[in-house]
Amino acid sequence: MDAFDKVTMMAELSQDHCSLNHGPDISNEDIPAADYIVMPFGYEETEGIEIAVRELVIPACFDCVTALKGEEWTLLYCFECAESRWIYRQLAKNKYRHHILWLRGCPDCTNEFGGLYFTDIPSCGSTAYLALNEIKIAV
């Protein structure tokens, strides 16, 4: 993402709302976005030169950004249907250690599981990041 894209996103921020799940009966239209989670899709050409074919941009509110930076929550996000769920690590049956788990298909949109990818915070050389806060998220 270049500087022009970031400036454009900053200008649109005041009109965007959080796209992440905040629980039942909570309208996302009432929750203003504070940042964007950006997940580039692409490939590595040669010797560390990364080519981003496209980028998934997800508006996130202040509370969601704070949860992504902390160690208490894990976000499940489905690439196929754009649904998300938060997992509170202390109450989870499984031991989650990643900040974001990206799903290729979830029980809500398909009966065929296509894969699982993860993101941790912080790490150098990461590919996913919070656009405006410049907090890098490793994939």
- The pLDDT of residue 91 is 94
Alpha-carbon distance of 135 to 24, in angstroms, equals 29
Calculate the CA 45 to chain-centre distance: 24
Closest CA to 76 of 105, 46, 35: 105
Which carries the bigger pLDDT value, residue 139 or residue 87? 87
Q: Which domain holds residue 104?
A: 3-137
Average pLDDT, the chain: 78
Q: Is the pLDDT of residue 110 over 50?
A: yes
DSSP state of 132: T
Could you tell me which residues come within 8 angstroms of residue 117 by beta carbon, excluding any fewer than 6 positions away?
Answer: 101, 102, 104, 139
CB 119 within 8 A of CB 139: yes
Calculate the CA 42 to chain-centre distance: 16
Confidence of residue 48 (pLDDT cuts 50, 70, 90): low
Q: Is the pLDDT of residue 30 over 70?
A: yes
Q: Is the pLDDT of residue 122 over 60?
A: no
Alpha-carbon distance of 23 to 15, in angstroms, equals 22
Amino acid symbol at 137? I
Q: Is the pLDDT of residue 127 over 60?
A: no
Which carries the bigger pLDDT value, residue 41 or residue 55? 55
Into how many domains does the chain fold?
1
- The pLDDT of residue 39 is 81
Burial of residue 45, with CB atoms counted within 10 A of its CB: 0-12 exposed, 13-18 middle, 19 or more buried: exposed
Q: Is the pLDDT of residue 124 over 80?
A: no
- 38 DSSP β-pair partners: 57, 129
Q: What is the pTM of this model?
A: 0.75
